[in-house]
Chains A and B, each alone.
Chain A
Amino acid sequence: MSLVLSDSLQATVNALTDTFTDKLIEVYQSSGDTFIRIEADANIEILSFLKKEQHYVYLTDVFGIDRYTSDERFEVVYNITNLRDRERLMVKVRVEEENPTLRSATEVWSSANWHEREVYDMFGVYFENHPDLRRIYLPQDFEYHPLRKEFPLLGIPGSIDLPNTTPDTE
């Protein structure tokens, strides 16, 4: 499929192709948004390159996708914004189902902190060098990662003790 890129995005893609030839896997568009997929081991290098050299200074979001039956099951997407040229770019990395680990983007943007905690909470993807990798929504005692596709819609009964609903008698 041919790409329809604006000048700024074209320049970014060219710069990425020149600098990280081996690490860039694909560039594609869907519904008018531009996505690039990169090797998981180069995520920090490419993200800090995009921030420092290509003006993608604002990290909007980091989120996970469960591809379930496919190889390299989990996908982590960095949603970054270029404030100078008003462009948005989605950077994707894929990780394996066994021991999914990525390097944390908190060294590039501090705001990645909570977003990566959310990905960890919902999908169980670990982030190395994260300053405070705790679950963000669910209690630490919870054993499952609910946005994985195998987690049932109604939850797992009895997985954690819920607070006592009857008043203390002491």
Chain B
Amino acid sequence: MKLEGIDAKVKPEFFEQHQRDIYRSLEDKHTFIEEIDDDDPLNAKMVLNMGPQHPATHGVLRLVLQLKGELIEKTKLDIGYLHRGVEKIAENKTYQEFMPYTDRMDYLSPYSNNVALCTAVEKIANVEVPERAHYIRMICCELARISSHLLWLGTMVMDSGAISFFLWTFREREKIYDIFDQVAGHRFTVSHSRIGGVASDFTDSAVAIIKEFITGFPKELADYHKLLDRNRIFIDRNEGVGVLPSEKALDLGATGPVLRATGYALDQRIINPYARYSEVDFEVPTRLEGDNLARYFVRMEEMSQSIEIIKQCFEKMPKGPVRTDNAKQAYPSKDEVYYSMEGMIHDFMMTDTGICPPTGSECYHAIESPKGELGYYIQSDGTGHPWRLKLSVPSFRNLQVLEQVLDGEMVADTVVIIGGMDPVLGESDK
């Protein structure tokens, strides 16, 4: 029987068609459509709108939940509140000009996004990157991973009830911001990577502050483990909550730690090594349970693996240039720009036209960002602007999983499950 009242009950003030279609699709989500009023004398069924401005939704995520008492029967997600059309913007910018936009995609780990763009452009335009630049990128990417996972840890534990934990993880994140300040000159949106290398080499003080961080951080991590691993309240809130079964994980397109918590060791650093990840030893942590607690253990283990990678990078990092010395492919150094005519011309050409990949070439390159596989597809028409630049973002895929995982959960666990999925809406909304 078709549910009658819902159209009449919805009185949207703007985007009318949009609101009505969401409610209709909530009805159509499963094959059966039920009558709300019959057999419900206590009026236990209701439709709950959560977001887009709810503080626990980690951004402008809107959930439309159909509840029966405290149980979620069906969920629909409404995303797009942060849609800026960056793919359209990219088609009208040179590759280097587009870099600051990538910072603002996954704003919790900007460095990974910069590297993802650079590696894709380097692949399509055949740019060689100096050895030292690869290691600088790896170190900063792993720092960005720790920074992103620390924010997830703080907010997820706060979602499950422990407020003070948030401050401790933010104290550590603050140190990473200080590192990026030393390395790139920016704390948050770094834009430090360049096509063909990185913008500047590590200074001595930057190296010192990173080394200080990687010696101190494992102790903090051990403290987090001590506080949470056997914490009754934390385990009760997370164990068996938001279970994503292994057999459904690939079909639903989960990625990153969400997928690895179901048992698949799918990590782009292993299956498709970029930079110099093939030369360092590290493990890809996996769990089999697929619930929120498994995601917790996977991300915690990833942070300690990141520390190991950074240590190995410092051992293996050679001396040398940090940007390719080919003025047709990368920006010349500032010394050349200020003191030679050619340098000035090349700098102007790079800014005006940029790097031009061969006509008709196309490529896809993915890196493992903290949230999962972050891929850039670029199609070139031979000019300095991409003909099509497609961002394949992990948060988008994990939100699609969230829509399925929430069905059948308790409404009180919603925020914990969102926290465990760790979506960033700036990234998924593009």
Write the residues of chain A forming the contact surface with B, with a CB cutoff of 8 angstroms.
30-33, 35, 57-61, 63, 65-66, 77, 79, 83, 86, 88, 90, 109-111, 113-114, 122, 131-132, 134-141, 146-147, 151, 153, 160-164
A32 touches B400 (CB 8 A): no
A164 in complex: contacting residue of B13, B22, B124, B400, CB < 8 Å: B13
A163 touches B123 (CB 8 A): no
A138 in complex: contacting residue of B29, B83, B87, B400, CB < 8 Å: B83
Main secondary structure of the interface of A (DSSP, over half): loop
A32 touches B363 (CB 8 A): yes
**18 A-B residue contacts at CB 8 Å?**
A31-B124, A31-B363, A58-B250, A60-B373, A60-B392, A63-B377, A65-B379, A88-B272, A88-B364, A109-B253, A111-B253, A114-B396, A136-B80, A137-B80, A137-B429, A153-B88, A153-B92, A163-B13
Q: How many residue pairs at the A-B interface have CB separations less than 8 Å?
A: 115
A-B contacts besides A79-B377, A164-B13, 16 pairs, CB < 8 Å: A30-B360, A31-B123, A32-B123, A35-B362, A57-B250, A60-B253, A60-B392, A61-B390, A65-B379, A77-B377, A114-B396, A136-B79, A139-B17, A139-B80, A153-B89, A164-B14
Write the residues of chain B forming the contact surface with A, with a CB cutoff of 8 angstroms.
13-18, 20-22, 25, 28-29, 79-80, 83, 85, 87-89, 92, 123-124, 126, 250-253, 264, 266, 271-272, 360-364, 366, 373, 375, 377, 379, 387-388, 390, 392, 396-397, 399-400, 404, 429-430
**If the complex has contacts A136-B80, A137-B79, are A79 and B392 also in contact, measured as CB distance less than 8 A?**
yes
Residues of chain B with a CB closer than 8 A to A31's CB: 123-124, 126, 361-363
> How distant is B97 from chain A, measured CB to nearest CB, in Å?
14
The winner among B88, B89, B92, B266 for most chain A CB atoms within 10 A is B88
Residues of chain B with a CB closer than 8 A to A153's CB: 88-89, 92
CA distance A146 to B90 in the complex (A): 13
CA distance A100 to B360 in the complex (A): 23
A137 touches B83 (CB 8 A): yes
Top 6 nearest A-B pairs (CB, nearest first) are A111-B253, A137-B80, A31-B363, A139-B18, A140-B18, A139-B15
CA distance A113 to B400 in the complex (A): 8
Main secondary structure of the interface of B (DSSP, over half): mixed
Residues of chain B with a CB closer than 8 A to A63's CB: 377, 390, 392
> How distant is A121 from chain B, measured CB to nearest CB, in Å?
8
> How distant is A97 from chain B, measured CB to nearest CB, in Å?
16
B15 touches A33 (CB 8 A): no
Residue of A nearest to B388 (CB): A65
CA distance A69 to B274 in the complex (A): 36
> How distant is B317 from chain A, measured CB to nearest CB, in Å?
26
CA distance A107 to B222 in the complex (A): 45
A111 touches B252 (CB 8 A): yes
Residues of chain A with a CB closer than 8 A to B430's CB: 137
A83 touches B379 (CB 8 A): no
Residue of A nearest to B254 (CB): A111
Residue of A nearest to B78 (CB): A136
**If the complex has contacts A31-B362, A65-B388, are A138 and B13 also in contact, measured as CB distance less than 8 A?**
no
Residues of chain A with a CB closer than 8 A to B266's CB: 58, 83
Residues of chain A with a CB closer than 8 A to B379's CB: 65
CA distance A113 to B345 in the complex (A): 49
Residues of chain B with a CB closer than 8 A to A135's CB: 18, 80
Residues of chain B with a CB closer than 8 A to A65's CB: 379, 387-388
CA distance A135 to B396 in the complex (A): 14
